[in-house]
Amino acid sequence: MQPETTAKVANNAITKGDVLAAARIAGIQAAKRTAELVPMCHPVLVGSVAVNFSIGDDYVEVEANVETVDRTGVEMEAMTACTIAALTVYDMCKSADRTMTISDVALWEKSGGRSGHWQRTSSDGRVG
């Protein structure tokens, strides 16, 4: 997004309201409804969802952490939370900046479930 838009988000100056609060709520709701949105995704009991943001000069980064004690992982719930939160940021800021893009949705780490622990490594070998 344009730096002016990022500054407006950081200063809570977007006319539609508190962008990050709305995006956080949207992400949490999306995580809980993932099985309704993604065909073939198992419904799981979501224990907790945390949606957090990092604001840079020209971006808002979204990160979700989802936990369950269910029989399967919650990767889809976490990525759905991030995506819907990002779409909410776009929706609330589009009157100020239609050039925004949403990109690079990726799983960074998971634990539990049938496949156990997994963590992404970057191209230079760093973890996470």
Count of CB atoms within 10 A of residue 93's CB? 23
Residue 1 has what DSSP assignment? -
Q: What contacts 49, CB < 8 A, 6 or more positions away?
A: 27, 28, 31, 32, 64, 65, 66, 67, 77, 81
Answer whether 34's CB lies under 8 Å from 21's CB. Answer: no
Amino acid at site 113: G
Q: Which residues are catalytic?
A: 91
